[in-house]
Amino acid sequence: MSGHLMGVYNRAPLEVDRGRGARLWATDGTEYLDCVQGISTNGLGHAHPVLIEAVKEQAEKLWHVSNIFKIPGQEELADRLTESSFADVVFFTNSGTEAVECALKTARKYHAANGQPERIDIYGFDGAFHGRTYGAINAAANPSYTEGFGPKMQGFHQLKWGDHEALKAAIAEPNCAAIIVEPVQGEGGCRAMPDVCLRGLRELCDQHGVLIIFDEVQCGMGRSGKLWAHEWAGMAPDIMAVAKALGGGFPIGACLATTEAAKGMTVGAHGSTFGGNPLAMAVGLAAFNAINSDAILGNVNEIAGYLKQQLHGLKERFPDVIEDVRGKGLLIGLKLVPNNREFMGWARDEQHLLIAGGGDNCVRMLPPLNLTLDEAREAIEKLERTCESARSKAKAAA
């Protein structure tokens, strides 16, 4: 292996070769059941034929121009996104963190456009993950991502998840610009904000002219069982960051907003070289049309229902291994008793099941949205055997 990569990743000892649907093969030929899927990015699994076709067709036509020209695919995907959401306008990016960056800038610029440029305070929550740009790490304020990177950026504050009084006080602050939150936390341990809290947040923010930014980079695009996770609560944000499954594995992000919230984003206010390029838009459109369908969303709800029931069963039988089952739809978190990193390793090496880690000693299951019932059964069997293995290891160590 080359020693020339920046050492920022703790990589699993698995060299990947190819994938198909929920299966991933290593270069040594080992087959895995992939319930990570690029951390909830491959919404349609690996190598979906519709996406392959879209890439091939567009690759022969046009890859990249620049946003100084009109890009029909961009307008079409923006139409699809706004038809199916609260939003009126879209800015395309290449990643989740850039979508978050655009959301943060849009919120501050809104208040500046309203003649209140001093209104810059943005409140995030503990356990949040918004990506790795300076804006995103400051908004999430996870010390392990901010330490050593210079002074904290001005105007970013953190709230404790579930502390309603602190949230109310923050929203009432005269310089509060926006609240940023994942309706269902991903990296932070799959905590879902209760619907009643999301509705309460909307009411309070409306009273004080504060904008709501949802980071649906991970929980959006069908993963929760609705296209957007906040739909379950029957409310909507002003601005939303989307990415991951938006491109079905191709790097695309988007910042969605209402016309009102985006009023400060006028000519010259923001931009991107690669954002919204024709190749990305072609794949994005194909992925969006496939995912925004009764077939996929119905499947998410059916499979999620099965998995949830089975996982609760496992929790009952293995209280010494599984402490809690969390999440929404196919964004599933298991809070564990044994170390989550070790458990992931056992699942991978002994059962050839790939699962992701998460905060709060969780592991995450993020299977493709088109996972079949047979594959879901297989995942449960593999998890059950991993729980047995974890139990016998704990006994041997005692």
Ligand X SMILES: *Cc1c(COP(=O)(O)O)cnc(C)c1O
- Which residue positions form the known binding site? 96-97, 129, 132, 215-218, 272-273
H-helix segments, the chain: 37-40, 49-59, 72-83, 96-113, 134-140, 143-146, 164-172, 195-208, 278-291, 294-317, 340-351, 373-397
Whether the Cβ atoms of residue 33 and residue 352 lie closer than 8 Å to each other: yes
Which residue among 155, 186, 189, 284 contacts ligand X (CB under 6 A)?
186
The residue type of 234 is G
Residue closer to ligand X, measured from CB, 109 or 244: 244
Which residue among 204, 213, 217, 221 contacts ligand X (CB under 6 A)?
217
Q: Which residue is nearest to ligand X (CB)?
A: 96
Residue closer to ligand X, measured from CB, 119 or 130: 130
Query: Shortest CA distance to 329 belongs to which of 308, 304, 351?
Result: 304
Which residue among 97, 258, 277, 361 contacts ligand X (CB under 6 A)?
97
Q: Is 218 in the site for ligand X (CB under 6 A)?
A: yes
176-181 vs 211-215, strand pairing mode: parallel
Whether the Cβ atoms of residue 246 and residue 81 lie closer than 8 Å to each other: no
Neighbours of 332 (CB within 10 A): 23
Binding pattern to ligand X, positions 241-280, x when CB under 6 A? --xx------------------------------------
Which residue among 42, 85, 95, 389 contacts ligand X (CB under 6 A)?
95
Q: Is 101 in the site for ligand X (CB under 6 A)?
A: no
Q: Is 190 in the site for ligand X (CB under 6 A)?
A: no
Please spell the DSSP secondary structure of 141-167, one letter per residue: --HHHHTTS-SPPTTEEEE-TT-HHHH
**Total residues contacting ligand X (rule CB under 6 A)?**
15
Residues 102-141 that bind ligand X (CB under 6 A): 129-131
Q: Within its chain, how far is the Cα of 224 from the centroid?
A: 10
Task: Match 């929790």 to its residue by tokens.
Answer: 315
Stretch that binds ligand X, among 1-9, 51-59, 90-98, 269-277 (CB under 6 A): 90-98
Stretch that binds ligand X, among 76-84, 145-153, 182-190, 313-321 (CB under 6 A): 182-190
Whether the Cβ atoms of residue 337 and residue 314 lie closer than 8 Å to each other: no
Rounded to 5°, the CA angle 207-210-216 comes to 120
**Catalytic (active-site) positions:** 129, 215, 244
Which residue among 34, 101, 121, 182 contacts ligand X (CB under 6 A)?
182
Determine the straight-line distance between the first and last CA of the chain, rounded to whole angstroms: 37
Residue closer to ligand X, measured from CB, 34 or 215: 215
Binding site for ligand X (CB under 6 A): 95-97, 100, 129-131, 182, 186-187, 215, 217-218, 243-244
